[in-house]
Amino acid sequence: MTPSPVVELNRAVAVGMAEGPAAGLALVEALAGEPALKRYHLLPGVRGDLLAKLGRHREAAEAFESAVALTQNARERALMQERAGKERAAG
């Protein structure tokens, strides 16, 4: 597999599952400045999911809202809006 920012994001998801959301979030945060992921909606989407698992609801909602702004896919946008709403309500 060729290393890339998207592969690293996928690795962060796997680490989050295997070692816990804090470990996955640390990897996602390290990718935040990656130019190739600047407009990639799944970066804030993954971040939001990990933050939600950590109980950081306000931050999770903000991350999901960032994902909404970046995606052009109506279904993904609706999913991210739903997740943002749930996190806002939980926070």
The CATH code belonging to domain 5-90 is 1.25.40.10
8 Å CB contact between 53 and 72? no
In this predicted model, what pLDDT tens digit does every residue of 23-48 receive, in sequence order?
A: 999 999 999 999 999 999 999 999 99
pTM of the full predicted structure? Answer: 0.95
Confidence check: pLDDT of 1 > 80: no
Q: What residues contact residue 24 under an 8 Å CB cut-off, 6+ apart? A: 12, 13, 14, 15, 16, 17, 46, 50
Q: What is the DSSP letter of 51?
A: H
Backbone region of residue 73 per phi and psi (left: phi > 0; alpha: psi in -120 to 50; beta: other values): beta
**Residue 83, both tokens:** 């997740």
Upper half-sphere CA count for residue 77 (Cβ side, 13 Å): 7
